[in-house]
Structure formats: structure tokens, C-alpha cells
Structure 1
Amino acid sequence: MKLYIAEKPSLARAIAESLPRPHRKADGCIHVGNGDVVSWCIGHLLTQVDPEAYDPIYKKWQFEHLPIIPEKWKLKSTPRTSKQLAILKKLIKQADQLVHVGDPDREGQLLVDEVIHFSGVKGKKLQQTERCLVSDLTTNAVKRSLQQLRSNQDFVALSTSALARTRADWLYGLNLTRVYTLQAQKSGYKGVISVGRVQTPLLGLVARRDEQIEAFVSKPFYEVLAHLKTETNEPFTAKWKPSPACEKYQDEEGRVVVKGLAENVAQRITGEPGVVSAFNAKDKKQIAPLPYNLSALQIDAAKRFHYSAQQVLDSCQALYERHKLITYPRSDSRYLPRNHHGQAKAVTQAIANNDNNLQSAVSNADLSIKGRAWNDQKVDAHHAIIPTDSSKSLAGLDAMSQNIYRLVANQYLMQFYPDYRYAECIAEIEINGGLFIAKAKSKISDGWKQLIDKQEKDTYLPTLKKGQQLACEKGEVVEKNTQPPAYFTDATLLAAMSNIARFVKDPSLKTVLKETDGLGTEATRAGIIELLFKRQFLKRTGKVIQATEVGRKLIQSLPETLTLPDMTAQWEMQLNAISEKQQSYNGFVLPLQAQLTKVIEQAIIDGPQALRDLPITASPFKKSYRKKSTTKKSSYSKAKKTTK
């Protein structure tokens, strides 16, 4: 008997639908026509045990117990999962062959592997376990996946990476939450100081941005425009580019801050002749943006519809599981397998059937185009989020689901449109020893941009050539004011998490991190943001996200190293290296344990005065460090949300 172990019931049903009939439903599984069985997990069936399971003395929080580092890690089931775990253990024992059908990501790999190892599978049976990667729950797609099984041994590194992350989060969150809570309580604070390796730096990003805005003092700066005419009286303007000699009159952004200098330049060029010292006109092109991964989709949905990251994730999960209209949504990839191009006709036809608004976009698509999105080298366990070939009218969906589907479908259709082409002109003009720049940009052909609503306005310059004489009718000083950084929104906070290198202080680490996943993962970012709202460390005012007073005080009270993204971003880089077999589990965990010990020692030395500024009243988060965010936002989010 072959046993298929799915990550959740919806996936199990999709697998069963693709296997021989008749089907017979039983408790916790489905028997199919050829004698095989499909069963499922309910998210994580196993969880880390509490500290007191290692030693009863850990039940009481005390400094002398820290750091708590298990010698041998233990897992346990919960009342909610124990029945299904017992069913799976029995089926695993009876099975001749196992097929791992966890979701195609790091967490999905570990989730089923944990059950297999917990059930005592060893030797030949373990070595022969197969892996099925399902990114699309339509029957045809599942059948294709079942015909492309791989050895589960190919994914050991991915599972090890997830295991390292899970254990590191436990060590970090548990120990630091205990040590800082104990110190805060000495200062009279009644709540729990929840510290996480992702949530705390994320809160730090927001709190520091708020402080920068409040401390910001606007300052004037000055630009000089030259109003020019050609010999045939064609008018245009050019902007002064200060020379290196003007640096002492500029700020760190290169803006001129001395009004007298700008006025002097404007006066010197008024009524003077000018000459074109350089003129460059080029036809350029812009290729279509890649299909979405989850973060890119969440960012665009926030910009266009003001949806939160969690709302987008929940909608995507429903479109994937319930409606089968999009592929696996928790993807960090923006590429597609080359052989998937052969399914373009079926997918685009489904888009046209599903949404009348996109029928024209489908009819004008050129399916022979095979651009950079199709790249096997950049696709591993999962690919970009795209529509499936399932036909189902959007009329029965809620407005948010319709909007998300259209975003995904439109982004996919862009791959079958030609490049956007435009002409760009840049003129350099010398006037009385000063250099002035004029630029213009105009569309040649829309290409893929015809599928987006917002179009750029064309700008123009007269036909110019090097050496051409011009007349400067007057110089104009334009006074502007520096602007404070903007408060975070859903879109910009997600973008910051995705591109965390911008906020990293260490220059060497900043360079390396430009190529990594950022702060958190595609699957966890929405949950982490929501967790900070739930704990009332963050608040929302319209589109703006700010830190609450408690959130700001917490960041001000903790050591700076714990509130910066440097360490967390480095973790993600190392975890990614483990999944790619470039680093070992011990090479990541052992240094982390040593670092954790030093942080705890320093926290004890600093004493309660380090947390003296926290308000005395307890935070809304009164549970222990190990309380998980288990409120179901979707049928799937519960299992994968963890306190980080």
C-alpha cells in the first residue's frame, strides 16, 4: 500500500481526485481504487515541548536557568492534533511506500518530515520515501505532479533549514523573553516582554521611522532653471548641475542650500548665450515585470487597494485551496519552469472565461513570446503565483478575491506582450561656464504597459545637436523644502522586509544581504505584522502604520542589537545557505547558542535600569513566550504562524 501524506485536508482531497476510483472515506484518510491511501496533517501535528518537559525547574522563570538549551530536542502532539497523528502513525506503519506531499516550501517540507521521523520510519523505507510537489490544486496539475515524483532525500537540506529556523526561534524567543521580562518586572512592569528575532527588529524599523519623522526639521534648498530658446524660438528648460566646487554649499543629498549661490547663478545666465555641449537620443525598452511572488503581490495589492498583507494572504489561500484559481500562493519565486510555457493556451483561455474584463488582454496576447520568466535555473520547489487552467466565473467571489485574481492574471498576461519602448533624450548645455541638463522621454509603443492603468506623460525637447547655439532668456531660482521620510504603510513595510539590506548598518553585511530573502519569509511576513498589531505594539491610522507608545518604549529599552535587522537578516542568509547545502546545521546553531549566552549575560549585567522607561501597566500580551498566534485567518494560516 502506498500512503500519500498531504499537508492539509484540501490538498489530500485534490490528490485523491487524481487517483483511481472508487474512493472510500474513512476516519482521517481516503482509500482509493488501487488500494492506496491518502491521509493528511492539519498543519503542524507536532510542536516543541515546553521547557518544563526537559526539567520541571524551568516552569518558574529564573535568571539562573538561562539560557535553556535542550541537549536532545523533543516534540509533542496537542489535543487538537493527537487523533490525526495517531491515525497517521498507524497508516505509516502499514504502508509499503510513503509519498511526502507537504506544501512546496521550507515549512511544508519539515511539517511532513517531522511526522515521518516521529513515527519511527528508518532504513530502506525512509530512503525510498518519495516527494510530490503540488503548486496547483486543479486535477490536471495534480496528475502531472504525481507523475513527476522525486526522492524525498533530495529535500533533506530544505528540511534541515526549516528545523534550524524552528529551533533557533525557540531558543531566541524563549530565553530573551524570559530574561527581559524578569528585568522589566524588577522595574515594576507587570507584563511579558515578548522578544522575537523577526518581530522585534520589525517593530524597531517602525519605531525608528516614527522618531525620525517627529525629529525632522524641514530645510530649504534651491534649484536653478534656465529658460532657453532655439534659433527657431522653440522654448524648453534645463536644470543646473552644480560643479564639484559647489560641494561646500550642498547637503549630503547634493542639494544647494545657500540661496545666494543659486541667485548668483541665475543672474549670471540671464540673457546669456548657451551652447549644446552634448546631445544623446536613444530608443530604449523596458521588459515586462516578472509574475508575482507573495510579497510582490501583497505590495501591489496594498498600493492599489490598500489591503493588508494578511488580507492578501487569506484571499490567496482561498483562491488556491477552495476555488483552485491560482497556484500555490506562499511562493518566494517569480519564475516559471520552461515546460510550463506549453500550458499558456489553457491558462489564458481560463482567464478569458473567468473574467470578461480580461478577455481583450487575452485576445491580444502573443503566446509565442517566451521571455525571462521561464527559467528552470530559478525554480526549485515552487514557482511564481499564476492563474490555473480552471474555469470559474469570478461573479461568485467576493470583491477582494476578484481583485487579487485580476492582479495575478494581469501580471501573468504581461509575459505575452512585447517590451514597452520609448525614446529618451538628454541634452547638456553650457551657459556662462555652468552646466545645465535637459531631459525628455516619450512613448514609442505601449507593449505590456497597455495592461496597466497608470501611464506616464510624454515630455519633449526640440531637435538639438552638439554645438548648436541657444539663448537663455532668464535664470530662475526655485525654492523647495526637504521632506521628512514617510510613515510606513502596508506596501512600504512589506517592501522594507523584502529588501532589508537598505536598513542594515553593517556595510559588509549590507552588500551580501542584497541577494537574500530579507526579514522573515514569504509565508511568515503577514503573520508577523499582524502579531505586532495584536500585541498592540503597532497601530494603524488610515493607511499609515505607526508604533504605539508601548511599542516605542520597548524598542528604546532593549539593546540596539536586538532591535536592528542585521542579525535577523544574517540568519535568513545562513538558513538559505543550509537549504542550498552550503552550510551545516551545527555551523548555524552552535555559534547562535554562544551568542545567545553572551546576550543573556549582558542583559543580567545591565540590570532592570535598562527597562526603566517602560510603562508600569502590563502590555496586552499577557501570555507566556510560547503562546502561538492561532486565530484562523484562513484554513491554513493557523498551522504555520509562530511567535518569532
Structure 2
Amino acid sequence: MILYIAEKPSLGRAIADVLPKPHKKEEGCIRAANGDVVSWCFGHLLELAEPDQYDPLYKQWRLEHLPIVPDNWQMQPKPKTRKQIALLRKLTKEADQIVHAGDPDREGQLLVDEVIDYLKVPKQKRIAIKRCLISDLNPKSVKRSLQQLRDNSEFVPLATSALARSRADWLYGINLTRAYTLQGRQAGYNGVLSVGRVQTPILGLVVRRDLEIESFKSKPFYEVLAHLETEQGEGFTAKWQPSAACDKWRDEEGRVLSRALAENVVSRISGQTAYVKDIEKRPKKATPPLPYNLSALQIDANKRFGLSAQQVLDTCQALYEKHKLLTYPRSDCRYLPEDHRAEAPQIAAKIQAHCPHFSAHHAEFDFSRKSKAWNDKKVEAHHAIIPTDRQLDLTKLSRAEQQVYELVGRQYLAQFMSDHHYAETRVDVVIAGGDFKATAKQILSWGWKALYQKSQSRSHDQAKVASDDNEVCLPVLVKQQTLHCIKGELLDKLTQPPKPFTDATLLSAMTGIARFVEDPAIKKILKETDGLGTEATRAGILELLFKRQFLVRQNKTIRSTETGRVLICSLPDRASKPDMTAQWEASLDAISQQQLNYQAFMQPLTDVLGDMINQAKVLDTSLLKRIKQKPAAAFKRKTRKRVPKPKMAKG
């Protein structure tokens, strides 16, 4: 008998659907006609034991107990999973062959592996375990995956990486949360001040941005525009480019701070003769954007529809599991395997059936075209998120499901359209000895960008020209051509504070965390990694920060609360800045690539943790007194049995 262990029931049912019928459905498993059995987990069936399982003294939170570092790590069943674990124990004993069918990521690898380990499956049977990687729940794709089983031993580094992540979260979260919560109690704050290796640096990003906004002092600066005209009466504008002689009146970003200087330029150029010093026209092209991974999809869906990261993830899960319209959604990959190109016409047909407005471009789709998205070397456990070839009435979908499906479908169809071609023109003009510049972009052919135009009424060959902040049309110009400056215009401007984070910009910051790291060596490393958190955890971590009232939403923006700010200001920089935890993410990735071993990651972490606990023990608690107290009744309800402890599973 072959036993398939899926990550969740929906995946288990998809596997069973392609096995011989009739099926016998039992509680917790499905038996196929050939005797094979499909069972499943419900995500993680097991969790790391609480501190009091190692020593009853740890049930009471005390500073002198910290840091708590287990010598022998223990796992325990979650309260509602014991029955399923008992069933899996029975089935693994009966099975001749076990097939691991967790989701194709590090957590999916770990959650089945840890069950097999917990059940003490015999060594010989464990060596023979196969791995099935399923990213699309359509029967054809599931069948293909079952025909391409790999040895589960190939994925030991991936499971080790996930195990290190899990234990790091436990060590960091349990110890620092207890330390700062206890110090908060001394200051009179009765809530839980939770700290996590990923959640706290994310909170730190928001807090520092908010403080920067509040302390920002706007400064005036000035720009000069020259309104120019050709002999034929064609007009355009060019912007003044201050020379080195003006540097003492400019800030570090090159903005002119002297109004008198700008006024002088306006008076000097108005009514004067100008000439074209140089013209540069460069043909350029833009290739189609890569298909989505989860973070890229969350960012675009927030910008376009205002959906939160968690809403996008939940919507993708429904489109994957319930409707089977999308492939595996928690992907960190933006590339596709080359053998999937054969299915492109069928998938494209389904997208157009679901979104008829895309059919206007049907003649432009060329399925022999191979965009940069098709790259086997870039695809590991899972590929980019794309639509499946399943037909469904989209009126059965929620508005969010329709919106997300359309985004994914458009990005996929773009792979089969021509490049976007345009010309960039720069004109350098001299007026009264001063340099001015005009830039423009002219669309030569829309290509794939036609899919993204709000209105399809315009011709694809219609010229669209943009210059700086305004849309303008540059006339035909030649070098040394004489022009007339009708007048100069002084623009009064003010420096602007940084903008508050939104879901889109915060997710972008998490994935591009190198921008917020100061150490050049770390910055270089991080440019090659996926940033803070993973595709599967980022949305959950954000929601956790809202739930713990460290962050709040103000319309479309994300702002920090007083509690969140005080916590960040109380913590050492290395706990609240991304450098350290981003290094950990790089190390976890290195473990999965067999470039680093488990102990080389965990030992330095334990050493740093001890230092951070010692810092917490001598913390000046006066800052914590600023936090508004929770109602006493609410606190009593929460602490009647014991001090509440936060969940540590998500960073």
C-alpha cells in the first residue's frame, strides 16, 4: 500500500481524484480502489513544546530564568490534531511506501517530515520515502506530479532550514517577549510586549518612518522653466540645469534654495534667443514583466484595488484550493518551466473566456514567443503563479477573486506579446549662457503594454510623449537651431516628507530590505535574498502586528501606535533593525542550499540572544511608562489562569 501524506485536505482530495476509483472515504483519509491511501495534515500538526514542558519552573515568567535554551528540543501535538496523528501513526505502519506531498516550500517540507520523525517511522521505510511536488490542483497536473516523484532525501536541507527557522523563532520570541513583558510590568504596563525576529524589525521600519515624517521640516526650493518657441510657432518647455557655480545655493540633492538666484535666472532668460546645443534620441524597449510571485502580486493588488496582503493571500488560496483557477500561490519564484509552454494556448484560451476584454488582443498573442520567464534554471520547488486551464463561470467568484485572477491572467498573457518599443529624446538648450533640458518619451509600438491600458480606444501606434511632470510634445528640432524664449517661469516648491507605508510599500520594503540596511557587506548579501520573512509568512506577520495593536490602519496607510513606538524605542537597535534578522534569512537560505549547516546558524544566534537578554535586564523602564494601560477588567480576564503567551510561529 502507498500512503500519500498531503499538507492539507484539499491537496489530499486532489491526489485522490486521480487514483483508481471507486473511493472509500473515511475520517481523515481516502482509500483508492487499488488499496492506496491518501491522508493529510492540517498545516502543522505539531508544535514546539512550551518552556514549562522542559521545566515546570518556567510556567511562571521570571527574569532570572532567561535565556531559556532547550538542550533537547521537544515537539508536541496541537490540541485539535491528536486524532489525525493517531490515524497517521496507524497508516504509516501499514504502508509499504510513503509519499510526502507537502506544499513545495520549506514549511511544506518540514510539516510532513516532522510528523514522520515524531511517529518514529523505521529507518528503512524513511529512506524509501518519495517526494511529490504539486503546484497545480488540476487533475492533469496532479497526475504529472505523481509520475515525477523524487527521493525525499533530496529535500533534507530544505527541511533543516525550516527547522532552524522554527527554533530560532521560538528562542527569540519566547525569551525576548518574556524579558520585555516583565520589564513592562515593572513600569506598570500589564499587556504582553511581544518580540519576534521578523515582526519586530518590520514594526521598526514603520516606527522609524512615522517618526521621520513627524520630525520633518519642509524647506522651500525653486525651479525655473523656460517656455520656448520655434520659428514655426511650436512651443515646449525646458527645465533649468544649475551649473557648478550655483552649488553653494543648493542642498545635497541639488535643489536650489535661493529664490533670488532663481528670480535672476527668470529675468535673464525671458525674451532671449536660445539655441539647441544637443539632441539625443534613443530607441528603447521594455520586455514583458515576469509572472507573479506572491509578494509581487500582493503589491500590485494593493496598488490597484487596495487589497491588504492577507486579503490577497486568502483570495489566492481560494482560487487555488476551492476554484482550482490558479497554481500554488505561496510561491517566491517568478519563472516558469519550459515544458509548460506546450499548455500556453489552452491556458490563454481559458483566460480570455474568463476575461473577454483580453480577447481584443487575441491576434497579437504569439505562442512561439519565448519570454525571459521560461527558464528551468530559475525554477526550483515551485514556479510562478499562473492561471490553470480550468473553465469556470467567474460570476461565481467574489469581487476580490475576480480582481486577483485578472491580474494574474494579464501578467501571463503578456509573455506572448511583443516588446514595448519607445524612443527617449533629450534636448539640451542654451539660453543666456544657462543650460536647460527637455526630455520626452514617444511610444513607437505598445506591444504587451496594450494589455495594461485603461482605454483601448487609442491606436497602438499613437504617439504618447511625456516630459517631467507634464505631458508635452516636442517639435522636430535639429542641432544649433535657433529658438525664442518667450518667458521664464519660477516654480515655488517645498520638500516633502517621506510617505507613510501602505501594504504595497511595506511589502516592497520587506522584499527589498537591503535598501534599509547600513552595513555595505550585509547589503550586498541581501540583494541576492528574498528579504524579511517569506512569501508564506509576510501577510500573517503584518496581521499579527495589527492584532497586537502595534500597528493600525489609517485609510490606506499603515501607522505605528504609541505601544509599538515605545517598544521599538526600548529595544536595542539590532532587535528592531533589519540587519540581523535579514542576515538570518540569508543564512536560512544558505542552509537550504547546503552552503551552511544547522549548528553554524544556531550557535551564534544563541550567543547573541544571551547578550540581548542581559541588556533587557538592565533596561531603564521609564520609557515604558508612556504606554497607555489596558482596562483592568480586560487584563484580569486574560491573566486569570496564567500570564498570556504569544504564538511564536510567524516570526
TM bucket, shorter chain = over 0.9
SS at match of 2:71: coil
Q: Determine if the alignment matches structure 1 residue 642 to structure 2 residue 641.
A: no
- For 1:634, the equivalent position in structure 2 comes to none
- For 2:460, the equivalent position in structure 1 comes to none
SS at match of 2:295: helix
- For 2:609, the equivalent position in structure 1 comes to 596
Q: Determine if the alignment matches structure 1 residue 468 to structure 2 residue 490.
A: no
Q: Which moved more, 1:54-63 or 1:499-508?
A: 499-508
8 Å CA contact 1:288, 1:415 repeated in 2 = yes
* 1:361 CA displacement: 4.1
- For 1:63, the equivalent position in structure 2 comes to 63
Q: Alpha-carbon deviations, 1:303-345, whole Å to 9, x = none?
A: 1111111111111101100110000001111110011111101
Letter in 1 for 2:110: L
**TM-score, with normalisation over the residues of structure 2?**
0.93
Q: Determine if the alignment matches structure 1 residue 368 to structure 2 residue 381.
A: no
Tell me how far apart the structure 1 counterparts of residues 548 and 261 of structure 2 sit (CA, whole Å): 52
Q: Determine if the alignment matches structure 1 residue 155 to structure 2 residue 155.
A: yes
Q: Determine if the alignment matches structure 1 residue 531 to structure 2 residue 550.
A: no
8 Å CA contact 1:29, 1:39 repeated in 2 = yes
- For 1:583, the equivalent position in structure 2 comes to 596
SS at match of 2:237: strand
Q: Alpha-carbon deviations, 1:142-164, whole Å to 9, x = none?
A: 00111111111111111111111
Letter in 2 for 1:311: Q
Q: Determine if the alignment matches structure 1 residue 281 to structure 2 residue 281.
A: yes
Candidates 517, 531, 542, aligned match of 1:518: 531
Q: Which moved more, 1:60-69 or 1:589-598?
A: 60-69
Tell me how far apart the structure 2 counterparts of residues 407 and 30 of structure 1 sit (CA, whole Å): 35
* 1:621-640 correspondence to structure 2 within 5 Å: 626-628=645-647
Tell me how far apart the structure 1 counterparts of residues 235 and 401 of structure 2 sit (CA, whole Å): 50
Q: Which moved more, 1:342-351 or 1:501-510?
A: 501-510
8 Å CA contact 1:361, 1:413 repeated in 2 = no
Letter in 2 for 1:239: K
Tell me how far apart the structure 1 counterparts of residues 149 and 158 of structure 2 sit (CA, whole Å): 17
- For 1:386, the equivalent position in structure 2 comes to 386
* 1:457 CA displacement: 4.6
Letter in 2 for 1:190: N
8 Å CA contact 1:194, 1:625 repeated in 2 = no
- For 2:352, the equivalent position in structure 1 comes to 352
Count of matched residue positions in the alignment of Structure 1 and Structure 2? 632
* 1:395-410 correspondence to structure 2 within 5 Å: 395-410=395-410
Tell me how far apart the structure 2 counterparts of residues 626 and 457 of structure 1 sit (CA, whole Å): 58
Tell me how far apart the structure 1 counterparts of residues 261 and 356 of structure 2 sit (CA, whole Å): 59
Letter in 2 for 1:516: T
SS at match of 1:348: helix
Q: Which moved more, 1:131-140 or 1:425-434?
A: 425-434
* 1:228 CA displacement: 2.1
* 1:504 CA displacement: 1.9
Tell me how far apart the structure 1 counterparts of residues 627 and 602 of structure 2 sit (CA, whole Å): 32
Q: Alpha-carbon deviations, 1:475-527, whole Å to 9, x = none?
A: 22211111121121222121121211222232332232122111211111111
* 1:106 CA displacement: 1.0
Tell me how far apart the structure 2 counterparts of residues 212 and 164 of structure 1 sit (CA, whole Å): 35
Tell me how far apart the structure 1 counterparts of residues 2 and 362 of structure 2 sit (CA, whole Å): 42
Letter in 1 for 2:214: E
- For 1:212, the equivalent position in structure 2 comes to 212
Tell me how far apart the structure 2 counterparts of residues 567 and 362 of structure 1 sit (CA, whole Å): 49
Tell me how far apart the structure 2 counterparts of residues 477 and 277 of structure 1 sit (CA, whole Å): 23
SS at match of 1:169: helix
- For 1:635, the equivalent position in structure 2 comes to none
Q: Determine if the alignment matches structure 1 residue 543 to structure 2 residue 550.
A: no
Structure-2 change in CA distance of 1:428 and 1:419 (3 Å): same
8 Å CA contact 2:222, 2:262 repeated in 1 = yes
- For 1:449, the equivalent position in structure 2 comes to 449
SS at match of 1:526: helix
Tell me how far apart the structure 1 counterparts of residues 202 and 433 of structure 2 sit (CA, whole Å): 49
* 1:242 CA displacement: 1.6
* 1:557 CA displacement: 2.4
8 Å CA contact 1:44, 1:111 repeated in 2 = yes
- For 1:631, the equivalent position in structure 2 comes to none
8 Å CA contact 1:221, 1:259 repeated in 2 = yes
Q: Determine if the alignment matches structure 1 residue 605 to structure 2 residue 618.
A: yes
Structure-2 change in CA distance of 1:462 and 1:188 (3 Å): same
Tell me how far apart the structure 1 counterparts of residues 464 and 550 of structure 2 sit (CA, whole Å): 42
- For 2:227, the equivalent position in structure 1 comes to 227
* 1:356 CA displacement: 3.0
Percent identical across equivalent pairs?
Answer: 58
* 1:205 CA displacement: 1.5
Mark the runs of 5 or more structure 1 residues left unpaired by the alignment. Answer: 629-640
Structure-2 change in CA distance of 1:417 and 1:625 (3 Å): farther
8 Å CA contact 1:226, 1:238 repeated in 2 = yes
Letter in 2 for 1:78: K
Tell me how far apart the structure 1 counterparts of residues 332 and 529 of structure 2 sit (CA, whole Å): 11
Candidates 487, 490, 494, aligned match of 2:507: 494
- For 2:183, the equivalent position in structure 1 comes to 183
Tell me how far apart the structure 2 counterparts of residues 424 and 354 of structure 1 sit (CA, whole Å): 37
Q: Determine if the alignment matches structure 1 residue 113 to structure 2 residue 113.
A: yes
8 Å CA contact 1:58, 1:65 repeated in 2 = yes
- For 1:194, the equivalent position in structure 2 comes to 194
- For 1:553, the equivalent position in structure 2 comes to 566
8 Å CA contact 1:174, 1:625 repeated in 2 = no
SS at match of 1:339: helix
8 Å CA contact 2:170, 2:649 repeated in 1 = no
* 1:104 CA displacement: 0.6
- For 2:297, the equivalent position in structure 1 comes to 297
8 Å CA contact 2:537, 2:650 repeated in 1 = no
Q: Which moved more, 1:199-208 or 1:588-597?
A: 199-208
Tell me how far apart the structure 1 counterparts of residues 628 and 574 of structure 2 sit (CA, whole Å): 22
Candidates 551, 573, 577, aligned match of 1:564: 577
Letter in 2 for 1:513: L
Letter in 2 for 1:478: L
Q: Determine if the alignment matches structure 1 residue 615 to structure 2 residue 622.
A: no
Letter in 2 for 1:501: A
Letter in 1 for 2:616: A
Q: Alpha-carbon deviations, 1:19-61, whole Å to 9, x = none?
A: 1222112232111122211111111011000101111111111
SS at match of 1:608: coil
Q: Which moved more, 1:486-495 or 1:144-153?
A: 486-495
Tell me how far apart the structure 1 counterparts of residues 478 and 211 of structure 2 sit (CA, whole Å): 50
Q: Which moved more, 1:432-441 or 1:146-155?
A: 432-441
Cα RMSD of the aligned pairs, angstroms, is 1.9
Q: Which moved more, 1:254-263 or 1:10-19?
A: 254-263
Tell me how far apart the structure 1 counterparts of residues 131 and 106 of structure 2 sit (CA, whole Å): 13
SS at match of 2:501: coil
Q: Determine if the alignment matches structure 1 residue 483 to structure 2 residue 496.
A: yes
* 1:269 CA displacement: 2.6
Tell me how far apart the structure 1 counterparts of residues 418 and 645 of structure 2 sit (CA, whole Å): 52
* 1:122 CA displacement: 4.3
8 Å CA contact 2:332, 2:384 repeated in 1 = yes
Tell me how far apart the structure 2 counterparts of residues 116 and 436 of structure 1 sit (CA, whole Å): 70
8 Å CA contact 2:192, 2:645 repeated in 1 = no
